[in-house]
Amino acid sequence: MPLKISYSFDPIDIQKISDIVSERKQLGRRLVIERIQRNIEGEPPLISEEELWFAMMMCLLTTQQPSGPNDPVPRFLLSIPFRLSLPKIRQSENIPELVKKELSDFGGIRFYNRIADETYENFSTLEAGGWSRLKYFANALSDQRRTTPEIGHLALEQEAAEYMSANYRGIGPKQSRNFWQYLGLTRFVFVLDGRVIKWLHKNIDFGALPLSTDFLSDEKYYRFVSGILLNLCEQVGVLPCLFDAVIFDSYDPDEWQGYI
């Protein structure tokens, strides 16, 4: 069940967050505007197996990697054609070797041996029947996404994230939420990492609340922090998916060349 936490934030902090969100929107920052368009306004994006696969690779590649607009991983993900596309993976006779070669040849990407193994195992899980369950959640979230946002939507978003972390290698609390958020299908789960925690400590007085990066790999602690931030977002009047986009965007003076 989603964790509900009640905490009263200083009105000054609430206004500060509201002002920061408004500023990033008025600046027309690409990440912020695309998050609004993909996750909040209009029809949800159409989700194909290729889109699901790209989201999987995006999660595996961005774990413990520099992921700013000009870093190797985003440039690899935005390369056209995508070097590890679903058709290319399906045609490969040796998936781990293909992944290692593409990543090492591109340069600047760490952990390519681990990513190669995770890619092979996750692809095998999908081809062994995992696609149907993934599509079930994609369709259910898409139907929910077509309606006005309400806090009750968090339960399905959380269930979909739990499915990802329980069934796919390299997908922990952060990436299990990042997967569905990238696809434009969630609005209430948070994508949390050290940058978010650092930004929060810099901008908000959390008093004695124990916000730390040390335990974000633990699902229960991740939910605890998410519950605090959900309470903050309710008081500010901003959806979580937009709030974390604003935070991540604040670290990147350069604009993104695409959406990942």
pLDDT at 210: 74
pLDDT at 79: 92
Place of tokens 């599509």: 135
pTM, entire model: 0.93
Task: Count other C-beta atoms under 10 Å from residue 179's C-beta.
Answer: 26
pLDDT at 260: 59
pLDDT at 253: 75
Task: Count other C-beta atoms under 10 Å from residue 77's C-beta.
Answer: 18
The length of the chain in residues reads 260
How far apart, in whole angstroms, are the C-alpha atoms of residue 201 and residue 167? 33
Nearest to 170 by CA among 207, 225, 128, 120: 120
| CB 203 within 8 Å of CB 63 | no
- Give me the residues of the chain with pLDDT under 70, please: 1-5, 255-260
**What are the backbone angles phi and psi of residue 172, rounded to the nearest 5°?**
-100, -165
Residue burial 136-170, b: 16+ Cβ < 10 Å; e: rest = ebbeebbebbeeebeeebbebbbebbebbbeebeb
What does the block give as tokens for 142? Answer: 């898409």
pLDDT at 252: 80
In terms of C-beta density within 10 A (0-12 exposed, 13-18 middle, 19 or more buried), how is residue 245 classed?
buried
Place of tokens 């596309």: 85
pLDDT at 67: 74
pLDDT at 256: 62
How far apart, in whole angstroms, are the C-alpha atoms of residue 150 and residue 132? 27
